[in-house]
Amino acid sequence: MFLQQVVGGLATGSIYALVALGFILIFKATDVVNFAQGELMMVSTFFAKTMIDRLHPADVWMWLAVVLLTIGFAALFGVVLERLIIRPLMHAPVFSIVIATIGLSTLLIGLSGGVVWDWDTYPGKSPFSNKPVSLGGIVVTPLDMGIVGITLGLILLLTLFFKFTKLGIAMRATQQNQQTATLMGINVKGIFAGTWALSAVISGVAGFLAAPIIFIDTNMGYVVLKGFAGAVLGGWGSIPGAIVGGMALGVMENLATVYVWPQIKHMAAFLVILLVLLCKPDGLLGFTVKKV
């Protein structure tokens, strides 16, 4: 029973982890908490849904095409938003940029629901089946395994990207110190745009994976709050912290539902935020970023 809940929580936890990762990337590069992160995810997921409705993917290649189209769209969307809204505010106080992202989040919900798509709730489709399989006494669905697998794969790819590619290293340099990065000949503006694109892509993938579990509607961006809670739990500002914290939160939610009180599920994340902030603000991994 206990193990069952832990395994079940890992799938939702993976989504929280990805969402948290999207947050942290933008925060580390630009010092901005992007309150529109959830809506980036929502728009990409709606786009994926539209593509699925148009293309009716049946085999692996068609699904791959849908995924690649969604990733391309998310990247473009991230770059456009950065260019239109964030870059003009680059020299404004962080406060102003945050307000702008709050506005952006509301605007995107309004535009998605009112103009581009609608306010209905749709079940998400996935290439993975939802039929439970028993693995050594623990019941899992291929969907859950797919979500965890893709998340881990994506994290591995990102780690390699940040460690070994020139662009990844330039991004890390910018995160550490913008001025020095500029002096080293790094195009910081380009890195900002790239960070937004990368973050939007990660959120898009998270949305694509999450859609069969949490349904697609204009409010689905709220799941980002859980991602934030995960990031705080793991240690704000740390990429491993975001992943561990997100996963841990998913598991904790499941356990709390069974062992504490069923109705606590949606509140657990927020109680976790408040508790962690009060008791151990550095998070589980005890890692704080101090920028000079």
Partner 1 sequence: MIQGTAGTKFLLMLLFLVLLIVPHAPFMNSYLLYILDLIYISVLVALGLNLLAGYAGQISIGHAAFYALGAYSSAILQAQLGLPFLLTMVLAASFTAVVGYMVGLPAIRLHGLFLAMATLAFGRVVEELLVIPLLEPLTHGADGMPVPVAKLGPMVLKSDTWAFYYLCLVLATVMTWLAVNIVNSRTGRAFIALRESEIAAQTSGIDLAKYKTIAFALSAFYTGLAGALYAQAVTFIAPDGFTIFLSVKFLAVIIIGGMGSILGSVLGAITLAVLPELFAKLPGEWGAPMIFYGGALILVIMFMPQGMAGWVNALRYRLALRRLQSAPQLAPSARDAVAD
Q: Between residues 11 and 276, which has the closer beta carbon with respect to partner 1?
A: 276
Nearest in space to 216 (alpha carbons), one of 18, 36, 38: 38
Options 16, 22, 35, 146; binder of partner 1; rule CB under 8 A:
35
Helix (H, G, I), strand (E, B) or coil at 210: helix
The pair of three-digit structure tokens given for residue 185, joined into one six-digit string: 């000949």
Residues forming beta bridges with residue 140, ordered by sequence position: 133
Nearest in space to 249 (alpha carbons), one of 15, 60, 2, 4: 15
- Enumerate long-range contacts of 67-74, CB under 8 Å, 24 or more apart: 67/205, 67/208, 70/44, 70/204, 70/205, 70/208, 71/201, 71/204, 71/205, 73/44, 73/47, 73/204, 74/40, 74/44, 74/47, 74/197, 74/200, 74/201, 74/203, 74/204, 74/205
Residues 255-274 vs partner 1: string with x where CB under 8 A? --------x--xx-xxx-xx
Stretch that binds partner 1, among 145-153, 189-197, 252-260, 277-285 (CB under 8 A): 277-285
Q: Between residues 94 and 135, which has the closer beta carbon with respect to partner 1?
A: 94
Helix (H, G, I), strand (E, B) or coil at 138: strand
Options 121, 160, 180, 222; binder of partner 1; rule CB under 8 A:
222
Nearest in space to 199 (alpha carbons), one of 30, 13, 47, 49: 30
Residues 77-106 vs partner 1: string with x where CB under 8 A? --------x--xx--x-xxx-xxx-xxxxx
Residues 106-145 vs partner 1: string with x where CB under 8 A? xxxxxx-xxx--xx--------------------------
Q: Between residues 62 and 102, which has the closer beta carbon with respect to partner 1?
A: 102
Q: Between residues 103 and 149, which has the closer beta carbon with respect to partner 1?
A: 103
Q: Between residues 27 and 73, which has the closer beta carbon with respect to partner 1?
A: 27
Interacting residue ranges for partner 1, rule: CB under 8 A: 33, 35, 85, 88-89, 92, 94-96, 98-100, 102-111, 113-115, 118-119, 222, 225, 228-229, 232, 236, 263, 266-267, 269-271, 273-274, 277-278, 281
